[in-house]
Structure 1
Amino acid sequence: MENPQIKYQRQAIKNASPTELISKLYDFAIQACYQEDGERLNRVLETLIQSLNYDYEIAGELYGLYEYCQRLARQKEFDEVRELLEPIREAWEESVVKDKQETVNQGGRGFVV
């Protein structure tokens, strides 16, 4: 029988919007830092790199940051990676996810990430 927590997490991912998925990726990366799981952290960082939209100038900066975090993870500098990712996750959550939810709640069409 499948673990109920895993089943819940899978369902939450299936129902998440693209912007919410990015938040979840940050959560997974931060969790991997706490668990000192370098392999998982690098997989999540690679997924974040693949999700970048280069139509926006910040994508290049995030690419460099994610690559730097991957190097730190290989050196087992998990605390430093976490300290870099946590503020980005908070900013993403506040500026992108909440703004999208407010737009949808106001009857708008939102935006595509």
Structure 2
Amino acid sequence: MQNPQQVYQQQAIMNASPLQLVVKLYDLLLQATYRKDQNRVRDVLNTLTESLNFDHEPAEELFQLYQYCQDLARDENYEEIREILEPLRDAWEQASKGQTEEQAAD
């Protein structure tokens, strides 16, 4: 039998929009910085990097930022990673909420 919390988390991921998934990735990344889990930090940064769509404007800047955060992770500078990515996480969450509100209005 599965852990009820795991079932809930799986359902939340399956029902999440692409923007909500990005927010969840940022949450995982930030949690890993607090735990000083270098492997997890690097894995999530790789996932974020691989998910970039270079057909859109901010992709190149985000790519460079994620590469910089990879360098910071190698140096175990987790606080600076948080300082850089927490505001971005909040911006993605605001975009996600705006998208949800637009869909509700339709």
Smaller-chain TM-score range? over 0.9
Mapped to 1, the partners of 2:101 and 2:58 lie a distance apart of: 23
> Normalised by the size of structure 2, how large is the TM-score?
0.94
What's the counterpart of residue 59 of structure 2? 59
Segments of structure 2 that go 5 or more residues without pairing to the other structure are: none
- Deviation (angstroms), 1:34: 0.6
Q: How many residues align?
A: 106
What's the counterpart of residue 75 of structure 1? 75
Mapped to 2, the partners of 1:34 and 1:83 lie a distance apart of: 12
Mapped to 1, the partners of 2:97 and 2:12 lie a distance apart of: 17
> Which letter does structure 1 place at the counterpart of 2:97?
K
Say what the alpha-carbon RMSD is for the aligned residues. 1.0
- Deviation (angstroms), 1:41: 0.7
Matches within 5 A, 1:1-113: 1-94=1-94, 96-107=95-106
Mapped to 2, the partners of 1:106 and 1:10 lie a distance apart of: 27
Segments of structure 1 that go 5 or more residues without pairing to the other structure are: 108-113
- Bigger helix share: 2
Deviations 1:78-104 (A, max 9, x none): 11111111000001111x201211110
- Deviation (angstroms), 1:4: 2.3
Q: Higher relative contact order by CA 8 Å / sep ≥ 6: 1 or 2?
A: 2
Identity of matched residues, %: 52
> Normalised by the size of structure 1, how large is the TM-score?
0.88
> Which letter does structure 2 place at the counterpart of 1:97?
S
